[in-house]
Amino acid sequence: MSQRQIELEVLRYNPETDTEPHFQRYSVLCEDEWVVLDALNHVKATIDPTLSYRWSCHMAVCGSCGMMINGEPKLSCKAFLRDYEGVIRVEPLAHFPIQRDLVTVIDDFVTKLRRVKPYLIPKEEKSIEAGEYLQTPAELKKYKQYTLCINCMLCYAACPEYGLVPKFIGPAAISLAHRYNQDSRDGGREARQQEIAATEGVWECSFVGACSEVCPEHVDPAGALQQVKIKSTIDWYQEHLMPWRNK
Amino acid sequence: MAKSNKPIVWGLFAAGGTVTAFVIPALVLLTLLPALGVVPELLAYDNLRAFAGHWLGKLVLFAIIFLSLWHAAHRLRVTLHDFGVRADLLVAIAVYLAAATGSLAAAYYLLRL
């Protein structure tokens, strides 16, 4: 195992003492196979215990360690030091307010996620005695990819539209709504459409595609949003041109 | 929240994108060939005029021109928004008006054939 001296430039902000964020340099001896999160943990353990950041699983499952690394939204547990040269700049996720150092305020995303009802709303209620809601592999395949979202919010940090129009419901929440809409057991699409077919829903998306580029779980939110647009467009024509179809 | 009426402009935009992606490269090639002096029998003036003179030909040509123009207009509107131009209503009127003008001109010349 070889080691390398790593220069980290980390954004610091303490709302109790600082008027605005500033960068702080740390020089740490790191193992070659470490990720940026390991380097931050090393800093916190040996140099500066006041450094604040979120992390939990260290294996790209929990979605809490998202940060801007050299300006790109990344899970810091998946960003290998060997892929970077020179000074590595670490900042909190873009487009979110900073709570402290690398910790962001994520209330906006959580509220939006709730609004799209990201849970199964059964088409027909069944009693427990009536058994399971059965599903074929083909029906599972229609939405499985969208279940992989870990709510890490990298797509929000990457999305220029979310940066411009903070009301935009955004990639992950709409992809998750799409996940349940695509589920053969679900009957909640109409309730979700009230949110995602609104102007600040899917229609703020201009298909930049950055969300799908940064998604660590390959959910492809941009693809989900385009599918939502097509379905919402079909809805619109049915509601306005085929009134006999409306209930 | 009320559902958006964006599907009107987006539906045409999506249709135009599909048409543009499939048909326009072929049209560019077919237009460049005669421009470079290579005129296959199929593309001779009389043949093309007969195609454009038939009502079905007119319909196809108009659909391609209208959808492509609409697609370009909407793309331009969104691109300007992404570049930070915030006068969306003004931009929308300008680009869609340009697309409408082009489409009307196409309809006018097609009907005169």
Q: Side-chain half-sphere of A7: how many Cα atoms within 13 Å?
A: 6
ipTM of this predicted structure: 0.76
Bridge partners of A23, per DSSP, are A11
Mutation pick from A116, A236, A237, A246 vs chain B, by most beta carbons of B within 10 Å, is A236
Q: Which of A125, A111, A116, A103 is nearest to A52 (CA)?
A: A103
The answer to whether B34 touches B43, Cβ cutoff 8 Å, is yes
Read off the pLDDT of each residue in A72-94 and give the average, rounded to a whole number.
97
Residue B14 to residue A230, Cβ atoms within 8 A: yes
Percent of chain A with pLDDT over 90: 90
Residue A235 to residue B7, Cβ atoms within 8 A: yes
Q: Under CATH, which number does the domain A107-245 receive? A: 1.10.1060.10
Please give the single-letter amino acid code of residue B49: R
The CATH number for A3-104, chosen from 1.10.600.10, 3.40.109.10, 3.60.15.10, 3.10.20.30, is: 3.10.20.30
A194 contacts in chain B (CB < 8 Å)? 1, 3
Residues 3-32 of B with CB under 8 A from A: 3-8, 10-11, 14
pLDDT of residue A93: 98
| Residue of chain B nearest A195, judged by CA positions | B1
| Residue A184, both tokens | 């053969």
In sequence order, the 6+-apart residues with CB closer than 8 A to the CB of A213 are: A158
Q: How confident is the model at residue B37 (pLDDT cuts 50, 70, 90)?
A: confident
| Residue of chain B nearest A196, judged by CA positions | B3
Q: How far is CA A123 from the centre of its chain?
A: 28
Q: Side-chain half-sphere of A217: how many Cα atoms within 13 Å?
A: 22
Q: What is the pLDDT of residues A37-68, one digit of tens each?
A: 999 999 999 999 999 999 999 999 999 999 99
Choice between B59 and B84, residue whose per-residue pLDDT is larger = B59
The Cα of B30 is separated from the nearest Cα of chain A by a number of Å equal to 31
B2 contacts in chain A (CB < 8 Å)? 198
pLDDT of residue B43: 81
Tell me how far apart the alpha carbons of residues A39 and A176 are, in angstroms, rounded to a whole number: 33
Of the candidates A161, A198, A232, the beta carbon closest to that of B2 is on A198
Query: Where along chain A do its domains lie?
Result: 3-104, 107-245
Tell me how far apart the alpha carbons of residues A149 and B3 are, in angstroms, rounded to a whole number: 26
Angstrom distances, CA of residue A174 to CA of A65, A75, A114, A151, A178: 22, 21, 11, 12, 6
Tell me how far apart the alpha carbons of residues A172 and A153 are, in angstroms, rounded to a whole number: 7
Q: Which of A36, A111, A39, A27 is nearest to A66 (CA)?
A: A36
Count of pairs with CB atoms under 8 A, one residue in A, one in B? 48
Residue A236 to residue B11, Cβ atoms within 8 A: yes
Q: What is the pLDDT of residues A129-174, one digit of tens each?
A: 998 889 999 999 999 999 999 999 999 999 999 998 999 999 999 9
Please give the single-letter amino acid code of residue B43: L
What top-level class would CATH report for the domain B7-112?
mainly alpha
Q: Is A52 exposed, middle or buried (0-12, 13-18, 19+ CB in 10 A)?
A: middle
In sequence order, the 6+-apart residues with CB closer than 8 A to the CB of B57 are: B50, B51
pLDDT at B95 over 80: yes
Query: Where along chain B do its domains lie?
Result: 7-112
Q: How confident is the model at residue A247 (pLDDT cuts 50, 70, 90)?
A: low
